[in-house]
Structure 1
Amino acid sequence: MANLTRFDPFQVTALDPFEDVFKGFFRPARLLEEQHPLQLKMDVREDDKSYTVHAEIPGVKKEDIQVVIDGNQVSISAEIKQEKEVKEGEKLLHSERYYGTITRSFALSSDIDDSASQAKYHDGVLELVLPKKATSTSKKLTIS
């Protein structure tokens, strides 16, 4: 029996000789130094009683970081104000500036006890200790 495969003439494949020629042709040109805003990189660990989150937010003051907990949803946002200037004498040679807000939200498998949660910020790393809420035991009612 012959194997049949569906051919899409508009899909670029590795067998297409023009793939490398037109790759990125219609995209805008990039600068040598790409200016990407900061991205929130995180590690989330879980044990029996709590979650521990480590989020890298370098160069941000702790007053500019907000953490919101709603049930099992956690949102981290930070106001970034980066300025970098290189001057030689009075002539400005190079200037990079970025202002903005970064946000990252995620859901955990258990609800968080927000009254016992803790947050520390040291050397550009935000550490959250998020204790799990005690699971409520369900009660079966007897019908009389």
Structure 2
Amino acid sequence: MSNIRITKQFSFETGHALYGYDGKCKNVHGHSYKLSVTVIGSPITDRSNVKFGMVIDFSDLKKIVKEEIVDQFDHATVFNQTTPHVELANELKNRGHHVILVDYQPTSENMVVDFAERIKNRLPAGISLFSLKLQETESSFAEWYASDNL
């Protein structure tokens, strides 16, 4: 049976700041992120399976990505927990804001690596994460490919 890649796209709004950066992105700001998730596997061949012919049901993939990424990062502000931004993060949390502290600089490059790990850990047997594309603006994005990370 052939391996087939399927892709599902997601959108979410997230704020961040890059501590120590020498440009405008050192300031707290936000993006309308677009995340494309591509998985690879063989379509189910068991005719008695309700998901016959599918690699993975798009709704199952949606559930995984929604729980691991979208529900957590949408309308949140992400800060590196190892920088003085943690003081700002704590102040925002105390005022009821949704803040995520990570152990990396919250660039698109690092976020896509984090997202890949979160998604890979939830995929069913026989399905592999092939690639992710995290689009930060209309013209800027980071990509993660499994083949680059063997």
TM-score (norm 2): 0.23
Q: Under a length normalisation based on structure 1, what TM-score does the superposition of the two structures give?
A: 0.24
Higher RCO, 1 vs 2 (CA within 8 Å, ≥6 residues apart): 2
- Tell me which protein shows more helix as a share of its residues: 2
